Amino acid sequence: MTARGAALLGGAGGALVTALAAGALAAAGAFDTDDGAAPAKTTPPARTAPAARPAPAEATSDAVLVGQVYRRAIASVVLIRTGGGEGSGFVVDGTGRIVTNAHVVGGSRRVRVQFGENTPTIPGRVIGRDRSSDLALVRVLPRRVRGGLHPLALADSARVRVGDLAVAIGNPFGLERTLTAGVVSALGRQIEAPDGFSIPGAIQTDAAINPGNSGGPLLDGNGRVIGVNSQIKSGSGSNSGVGFAVPVSTVKFVVPQIQNGGKVQRAYLGVRNGDTQDLSGAVVGGVVAGGPAAKAGLQNGDKITSIDGRPITGSDDVSSAVAARKPGEQAKVTVERGGNRRTLTVDLGTRPETPAGG
């Protein structure tokens, strides 16, 4: 389902929070939350406190693992400052390339980048951005980075599972090098990009994500990037247990195309569609005149049930199926119309700069 109402995570804006870490530490097993105590003795020895109950082995193991991930990754996570705010980013190679969110850098061509606490910022240049995926690339000169560059490994999106450990590192509210931990809460979410298009395949997590976490990595238990923290769903503008990250598969698709200032070419179907109540398909609510779908014969009211043999249960599936293809390729779209099923061949186009359909 589409994650409606999710908010982009902007700069710190002068906000101050003093107790961000406690909830994450408890979730990670650092705190023993079992308040049960042994019966009190009639005459306890003076100045002797009851012995602390040891934490469960599983919780201790989780806390140790989270700490290991943090120590392995922290040298790769940076603070990015622009003229209007700040966010996070992470190093992806030895040439000084840093991935962040497009909404973090905004329209800036130059930013300031900080590696570690109590270190001076160094200049960075925005070498590419893609607002449709909310991703951007910043480059710094490797020789200016104290201690050298430590790129993070990118995970395989196909191996990410609900319930997997999820570790977020960033700079929420300007509090540098903050760690939060949780799990992958859901996969395949759809969130809205800064330009109004949809970002399919987003990862939902309960790891606390707040303004300033934008652009930072969401990591698995091996310290590999599974996503780029980008949005929260909240009525208050801060974390409420629902955060979203752009999946690493999108990073792998976008970065090679924007690293030299290029633009991402995406496939385009040209329909607007909605979900069915029984999750049996996506109902076409509008067909863009002259678009690929219109030329192939799709009509308002058609229910899309599969694309290239891939079952469609709702509009998010349509977006994901089209995103997996390239402009110029053909897609087999199966629809139900008037009780009959038919398969139409669509010559996919190139998505326009502004939303006009699916």
β pairing state of 282-287 and 110-115: unpaired
Query: CA 145 to CA 158: how far, in whole Å?
Result: 33
Architecture, CATH, for domain 153-258? Beta Barrel (2.40)
The per-residue pLDDT for 23 is 30
- What sign for the dihedral angle of Cα 249, 272, 299, 288? negative
pLDDT at 254: 96
Q: Give the per-residue pLDDT at 118.
A: 82
Give start and end residues of each alpha helix (H) in 175-267. Answer: 248-258
What pLDDT does residue 237 have? 61
Residue 218: CA atoms inside 13 Å, Cβ hemisphere, count? 35
Residue with tokens 């994450």: 24
pLDDT of residue 295: 96
- Confidence (pLDDT) at 306: 96
Amino acid 47: pLDDT: 42
Same topology, domains 153-258 and 267-350? Answer is: no
DSSP state of 2: B
- Give residue limits of the domains in the chain: 73-144, 153-258, 267-350
Q: Other CB atoms closer than 10 Å to residue 33's CB: what's the count?
A: 9
Distances (CA, A) of 29 to 52, 211, 243: 15, 25, 20
For residue 217, what is the enclosing H or E element?
A: strand 217-219
Give the pLDDT score at 43: 38
Cα gap 349→358, rounded to integer Å: 11
Give residue 73's identity as a one-letter amino acid code: A
How far apart, in whole angstroms, are the C-alpha atoms of residue 136 and residue 109? 11
- Long-range pairs for 307-310: beta carbons < 8 A, 24 or more residues apart: 307/331, 307/332, 307/333, 307/334, 308/332
CA neighbor of 87 nearest in space, from 257, 209, 5: 209
pLDDT at 19: 28
**Nearest by Cα to 315 from 265, 264, 279, 268:** 279
The pLDDT assigned to 238 comes to 61
* CATH class entry, domain 267-350: mainly beta
Q: What pLDDT, on a 0 to 100 scale, did the predictor assign at position 62?
A: 78
Is the pTM above the cut of 0.85? Answer: no
Q: What angle do CA 122, 127, 131 make, to 5 degrees?
A: 115
Return all residues near 211 (Cβ < 8 A) that are at least 6 apart.
Answer: 9, 10, 11, 12, 13, 15, 172, 173, 237, 238
Task: Tell me the catalytic residues.
Answer: 103, 134, 214
The closest of 30, 19, 251 to 153, measured between CA atoms, is: 251
Sign of CA dihedral 181, 187, 193, 196: negative
How far apart are alpha carbons 122 and 60 in whole angstroms? 38
Fold of 73-144: Thrombin, subunit H (2.40.10)
Q: What is the dihedral angle through the alpha carbons of 182, 185, 188, 193, rounded to the nearest 10 degrees?
A: -60
Mean pLDDT for back-to-back runs of 10 residues, the chain (358 residues): 59 31 29 32 40 48 88 96 94 97 96 92 97 97 94 96 97 90 94 92 94 95 97 72 93 95 92 91 94 95 95 91 93 95 96 71
- H helix runs in the chain, sequence order: 21-27, 57-73, 102-105, 248-258, 292-296, 315-323
Tell me the C-alpha distance between 187 and 208, whole Å.
Answer: 17
The Cα–Cα gap between 25 and 238 comes to: 18
C-alpha span between 325 and 82 (Å, rounded): 35
Q: Which residue carries 């186009």 as its tokens?
A: 349
How confident is the model at residue 32, as a pLDDT?
27
Q: Both tokens of residue 287? A: 């067909």
pLDDT for residue 60: 53
